[in-house]
Chains A and B, each alone.
Chain A
Amino acid sequence: MSDRISAETVTKVARLARLDLTPEEIERTTAELDGMLEHFADIDTLQLDDVVPMTQPYPLENVFRDDVIVPGLDRDEVLAVAPAVEDGRFRVPPIIGLDA
């Protein structure tokens, strides 16, 4: 078992992503995520007190678009590739209840 990430955390994250993982998949995913977190442990060893956290690698800010309409997508074309459609809208399974 990992000491960087627990099976409980993986189970919780899977639930938030609405992924239904088997106990075997939880175990395997925990090991895989642990391997990824090991890379971050390397960063933890560095002295970074004086480094300003970076939010973006590009030397850019304030990139804007003017408030002008540009034609978008055709509804029929979009709905034609949806799994289920009704009355011009996307039809989806019940929403509440996924938490249960």
Chain B
Amino acid sequence: MSGRDGLPGEWQLVVGLEVHVELATVTKLFSASPNRFGDEPNTNIDPVTLGLPGALPVLNRQAVELAMRVGLALNCTIQPCAFHRKNYFYPDMPKAYQISQYDQPLNIDGHLELPDGTRIGVERAHLEEDTGKSTHFGGSGGRIHGSDYSLIDFNRAGVPLVEIVSRPDIRTVDEARQYVNELRGILLAVGASDAKMEEGSMRVDANVSVHKPATPLGTRCEIKNVNSVRSLGRAIDYEARRQIDLLESGERIRQETRHWDEGDGRTHTLRTKEDADDYRYFLEPDLVPLAPSQQWIDAVRAAMPMLPAARRARLAEVTATASNSEAAMVVVERGQDDYVLAVAAAGGDAARALVHVKEAFADSPSVPAADLAKLTTMEVSGKLTATQAKAVVAELIANGGGDAAQIAAAKGFEAMETDALGSLVDQAIAENAEAWSKFCAGEGKAMGALVGAVMKLSHGKADGKAVTALFNQKKG
């Protein structure tokens, strides 16, 4: 009765995402004012930013280079391109047009692969300038609807953006979240942006529609004002259900831009969508064409760092885990994969190192790789149980390193010799005859009681894995 993603009936979700990213340049896209977040309002302004008569834009080379890195990281083709004026009347844009790219964008036809292997098409990634920042006052408490007036800060106007437009290939809320997280990781890796959704340097708009299998795609609505990955999921889910309710009661979807309200958890009509025609795009006569040479493209490509997917794959290979395991995802996101590899290179057990780093290294402590390597070696050779190893790791972190063997000895963690363990296993069998016969009869669950008994007898010093192995051995 329920479709994918918990939608009612056969309804299927179709999502395309438009992600605006502020580029990490020193200055603006077309002028030499600082590109800096958090300064006093209207202190980073100049004649180009304010659209004063006679002011002429000049393209920032570094912005182009960062946009090329984004394009290459998303497997796009970089092509000769041009800038257009997108005309619309809004007070946060003093020129009454935004310089953007229209039918000749810099990057086209790429894709992004989600950690689970799903491939999402990227239609384009083009350069454009950001608008100023409006703050709405009066009316219903700072909301855009019914405000009495607005205050404008032009510091952000002219900041370079790359707008990354996905194809409508996203089919679930989870895929949408994965896409944004993966994109963020890529942007950080290539140094294109600090990609902070909460500060607005990465902004996500979602084009949402619903349809039934083997029917044409539905009319879409564009959802704006989504300020976190969590909100993105909530907004898409709300919007899909709103559209389904309308369609099931025989109504039609109006193509429009809707505003996500985090407070009431709903989307609200912002404006009916203007057609591309309404923007009256025309070539920006004040700028010449941009055509990156093959030599420049090659140089940018050669300087590209390893991307998160490749780093996860490398980590997965060394640690023998899945590349989309939570541990691999988290550790690469934190940038601690090189450390795990260093532990392995120092002779440690990579898989155990991955677990400890994921579990205990959230605050990026500094422990020499050789010290953690020694701990993992003790662990896999059965000298420490998993629980004891955890305690030693905590001590290593607290001391900024140290000798795992000494820490273990100081804590009284002496691993039980196999002989001693064997006699405890025999004792546990004798005292838990019923559990033992159940286990021998093939009831795997009975193992829990047996291992628990040995743990109790050993005062927690026995290695759970070794005990399990002994029981299995005895069962024959």
On A, residues with C-beta under 8 Å from B are 13, 16-18, 55-56, 58, 60-70, 72-73, 75, 78-79, 86-96, 98-99
Contact = CB atoms under 8 A, between A and B. Distances in A.
A79 to B, nearest CB: 7
A96 B25 CA distance: 32
Interface of B: 25-27, 31-34, 40-47, 49-50, 58-64, 80, 82, 87-91, 134-136, 139, 144-154, 270-272, 274, 278, 280, 283, 285, 287-292
The 4 closest A-B pairs by CB, nearest first: A72-B46, A70-B32, A67-B62, A64-B61
A55 to B, nearest CB: 5
Given A17-B89, A75-B43, A78-B50, A67 B288 contact: no
A67 B25 contact: yes
A56 B289 contact: yes
A96 B145 contact: yes
A51 to B, nearest CB: 16
Given A88-B40, A92-B152, A69 B291 contact: no
B45 A55 contact: no
B271 A96 contact: yes
A79 B153 CA distance: 11
Contacts of B149: 91-94
A87 B26 contact: no
Given A67-B61, A73-B47, A75-B42, A61 B290 contact: yes
Given A16-B280, A55-B82, A93-B149, A66 B61 contact: yes
B89 A92 contact: no
Would you call the interface of chain B mostly helix, strand, loop, or mixed? Answer: loop
Nearest to B147: A94
A73 B144 CA distance: 29
Contacts of A88: 40-42, 153
B27 A95 contact: no
Would you call the interface of chain A mostly helix, strand, loop, or mixed? Answer: loop
Nearest to A56: B288
B473 to A, nearest CB: 67
B151 A89 contact: yes
A68 B32 CA distance: 6
A96 B61 contact: no
Q: Which of B34, B151, B274, B290 has the most CB of A within 10 A?
A: B151
Contacts of B139: 94
Nearest to A89: B151
Given A58-B288, A67-B27, A90-B91, A95 B59 contact: no
Contacts of B146: 94, 96
A29 B202 CA distance: 43
A91 to B, nearest CB: 6
B41 A69 contact: no
Contacts of B43: 75
27 contacts: A55-B289, A56-B283, A61-B80, A61-B290, A63-B58, A63-B287, A64-B64, A67-B26, A67-B62, A75-B42, A75-B43, A86-B151, A88-B153, A89-B135, A90-B154, A91-B150, A92-B151, A92-B152, A93-B149, A94-B149, A94-B150, A95-B90, A95-B134, A95-B150, A96-B146, A96-B270, A96-B271
Contacts of A16: 87-89, 274, 278, 280
Contacts of A73: 45-47, 50
A91 B136 CA distance: 10
A93 B87 CA distance: 20
Given A55-B289, A72-B44, A78-B50, A95 B32 contact: no
B151 A68 contact: no
Contact of A65 (B42, B60, B82, B88): B60
A89 B32 contact: no
A64 B60 contact: yes
A72 B41 contact: no
Nearest to A84: B149
A72 B32 contact: yes
Contacts of B292: 62
B306 to A, nearest CB: 25
Nearest to B33: A72
A23 to B, nearest CB: 22
Contacts of A86: 151
A82 B4 CA distance: 54
B103 to A, nearest CB: 10
A69 B34 contact: yes
A92 B46 contact: no
A65 B56 CA distance: 12
